[in-house]
């Protein structure tokens, strides 16, 4: 079992811990005219290949947390629609390496970046400190199927967190327990258009008013040519506030 490092450790110690586990590098990530340096696994595909080979016929715990999903990038581009941060609180749920939370913190939100994977939290904390956002953002473990953070947020963000149907009921309860009580508080979720979430929307509609926006983007396909894809962004407001 590998040892863990407290996330309160200095940046250089956190970075050493990440380097001891993975081949990593900082890469520039730009959203809406702003650029941050984000720590990433240098060759994620090679890592996955090694994990598959090492697992043999056994299960493979794929590092989904390490990928910057297109939905997370588009959610980052959507941040200006939420208005100025002005110190408002924001929860980045299932954040992976924390891209949405980082750009929200840069826009002036007070951010809590959460995930269930310890290495996701390690990378997120490194990214927060490396980009000088330690006063605006922090990290915490949060499993929306079971945990409660005992606080509410003006905005709750989540990119690609609707892929587990068995977790829908727990997710809705988590959102209701953590979205703020003011009339302006909201949940904003993004997902790839091809991932169906009609069951979640049917369940959530009982508790939230839901507005949907479809956003198009281009992504390099297997042929190397750009392919047009779609992402859905949902804005949810509790019905008792709507």
- The conformation of residue 179, written as its DSSP 8-state character, comes to B
pTM of the model: 0.93
The pLDDT of residue 50 is: 83
Measured from the Cβ of residue 223, the count of other Cβ atoms closer than 10 Å reads 7
What dotted CATH number matches 64-238? 3.40.50.150
**Distance of alpha carbon 140 from alpha carbon 154, whole angstroms:** 17
| Residue-wise pLDDT tens digits, 166-189 | 999 999 999 999 999 998 999 999
Residue ranges in the chain modelled with pLDDT below 70 = 1-3, 221-222, 241-242
Distant-in-sequence, close-in-space partners of 193: CB < 8 Å, separation ≥ 6: 214, 229, 230, 231, 232
Cβ proximity of 154 and 180 under 8 Å: yes
The pLDDT of residue 48 is: 84
The pLDDT of residue 1 is: 39
- The conformation of residue 108, written as its DSSP 8-state character, comes to T
Quote the distance between the C-alpha of residue 238 and its chain's center: 21
The pLDDT of residue 227 is: 83
**Distance of alpha carbon 15 from alpha carbon 158, whole angstroms:** 26
Q: Any idea where the domains of the chain sit in the sequence? A: 64-238
Q: What secondary structure does DSSP assign to 99-134, as a single string?
A: HHHHHHHHTT-EEEEEES-HHHHHHHHHHHHHTT-T
The SS3 of residue 132 is coil
């Amino acid at each position: 079992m590998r040892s863990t490092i407290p996330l309160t450790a200095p940046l250089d110690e956190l970075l050493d811990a990440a380097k001891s586990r993975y081949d990593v590098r900082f890469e520039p990530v730009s959203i809406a005219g702003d650029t941050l340096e984000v720590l990433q696994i240098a060759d994620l595909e090679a890592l996955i290949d090694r994990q598959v080979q090492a697992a043999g016929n056994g299960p493979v715990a794929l590092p989904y947390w390490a990928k910057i999903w297109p939905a997370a990038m588009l959610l980052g581009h959507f941040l200006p629609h939420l208005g100025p941060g002005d110190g408002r609180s924001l929860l980045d749920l299932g954040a992976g390496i924390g891209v949405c939370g980082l750009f929200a913190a840069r826009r002036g939100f007070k951010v809590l970046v959460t995930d269930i994977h310890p290495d996701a939290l390690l990378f997120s904390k490194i990214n927060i400190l490396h980009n000088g956002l330690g006063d605006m953002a922090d990290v915490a473990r949060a499993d929306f199927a079971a945990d409660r953070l005992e606080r509410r947020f003006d905005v709750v963000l989540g990119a690609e967190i609707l892929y587990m149907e068995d977790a829908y009921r727990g997710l809705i309860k988590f959102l209701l327990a953590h979205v703020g009580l003011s009339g302006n508080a909201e949940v904003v979720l993004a997902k790839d258009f091809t991932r169906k979430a009609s069951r979640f929307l049917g369940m959530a509609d009982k508790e939230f008013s839901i507005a949907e926006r479809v956003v198009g983007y281009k992504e390099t396909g297997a042929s190397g040519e750009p392919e047009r894809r779609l992402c859905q962004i949902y804005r949810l407001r509790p019905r008792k506030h709507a």
